[in-house]
Amino acid sequence: GAVVSQHPSWVICKSGTSVKIECRSLDFQATTMFWYRQFPKQSLMLMATSNEGSKATYEQGVEKDKFLINHASLTLSTLTVTSAHPEDSSFYICSARRGHPGGYYEQYFGPGTRLTVT
Amino acid sequence: GQNIDQPTEMTATEGAIVQINCTYQTSGFNGLFWYQQHAGEAPTFLSYNVLDGLEEKGRFSSFLSRSKGYSYLLLKELQMKDSASYLCAVMDSNYQLIWGAGTKLIIKP
C-alpha cells in the first residue's frame, strides 16, 4: 500500500521560533497534498491544499503568511509554522492524494506531527 | 452548504455488532470514505463506496445509498482494539474530502 511519512513526529519549540514539518509520499507521486490540524477530541480541520509547482490554496481563516507551504516536488511538501505561539500547539497531519486504478482518488495520511510551543 | 452528520459517540460490547451511520449533503459526489483514527494517531483508510450497495471487507462492511445521502459502517465481532474514532468523509465535485466530526466508539468487555 501507499506510504506517507512525516518528519518530525513530535517537536517542542519556544514561542517566536519557526518549525518546519516535512511530508513525503514514499512510493508514489502526489501532485496534491493536504495539511490538516487537529485539536484534542476534535475532528480534522483542513488548513490548505498543496499543489506541486504552484501556490497552496488556504482555507478560510488560515493565515498564509504564518503557515508557509512549499510543494517543491511530486513527493515532498513542507509546512513551516512561522513565529510559533502556544496556541499553535496542535497535531498536524499531512495527506497525499493518489489516483486509483478504479477511477477515484484516495488520500493516504502521514503519521502526524505533534507540535508543542512553550 | 456542505454537511456531514454522524453520531458523536457510541458504546458497544466486545463480540457484538455495531452500525455507525453517516448522512451527507455535498456539492457533487465522488465517493464516500470511512477512516479509523486511534487517539493520538493519524487516520487510516477503511473503505470506499461510490456505487449504491454494500462493500464487505472482513469484519468491516460499508453501505451507501446515494439517493438518500446515507452510509453506514458495520463492525462485526467487535474487539477491544476497535475502540477508536470513525470518520466519514465525502469527496465532492472538486475531489476534495469533506469530513464529518467523527464517531467515538467505545468497546466494553
What pLDDT digit, counting tens, does each position of A59-106 carry? 999 999 999 999 889 999 999 999 999 999 999 999 998 887 777 778
Which residue in chain B has the smallest CA separation from A99?
B95
The whole-angstrom separation of Cα A59 and Cα A50 is: 11
pLDDT at B59 > cutoff 80: yes
Inter-chain residue contact B42 with A112, CB threshold 8 Å = yes
Q: Name the residue of chain B whose CA is nearest to A93's CA.
A: B42
Write out the residues of chain A at the interface with chain B, using a CB-CB cutoff of 8 A.
34, 42-44, 46, 49, 91, 93, 97, 104-112, 114
Q: Which amino acid is at A91?
A: F
Q: How many percent of chain A have pLDDT more than 90?
A: 68
pLDDT > 80? residue A2: no
If you average pLDDT over residues B12-41, what whole number do you get? 94
Beta-carbon separation of B97 and A93 below 8 A? no
Predicted confidence (pLDDT) at residue A1 exceeds the cutoff of 70: no
Split at pLDDT 50, 70, 90, the class of B61 is: very high
Contact B45 A46 (CB under 8 A): no
CB contact under 8 A, B101 and A105: no
CB pair distance less than 8 Å for A43 and B44: no
CB contact under 8 A, A46 and B50: no
Question: Which of B41, B45, B87 is closest, CB to CB, to A43?
Answer: B87
Name which of A49, A97, A109 is nearest B42 (Cβ-Cβ).
A109
**Which residues, 6+ apart, have CB-to-CB distance to B80 below 8 Å?**
B14, B107, B109
Whether A43 sits inside 8 A of B100 (CB atoms) is yes
pLDDT, tens only, B74-92: 999 999 999 999 999 998 8
Q: How many other β-carbons are positioned within 10 Å of the β-carbon of residue A53?
A: 9
Q: Is B77 exposed, middle or buried (0-12, 13-18, 19+ CB in 10 A)?
A: exposed
Q: How many CB pairs under 8 A join A and B?
A: 43
Instruction: Using only the alpha carbons of chain A, give its radius of gyration.
Output: 14
pLDDT level of residue A5 (50, 70, 90 thresholds)? very high
The confidence band for B46, taking pLDDT boundaries of 50, 70 and 90, is very high
Residues of B near A (CB-CB distance < 8 A)? 30-31, 33, 35, 40-45, 48, 50, 87, 91, 95-97, 99-102
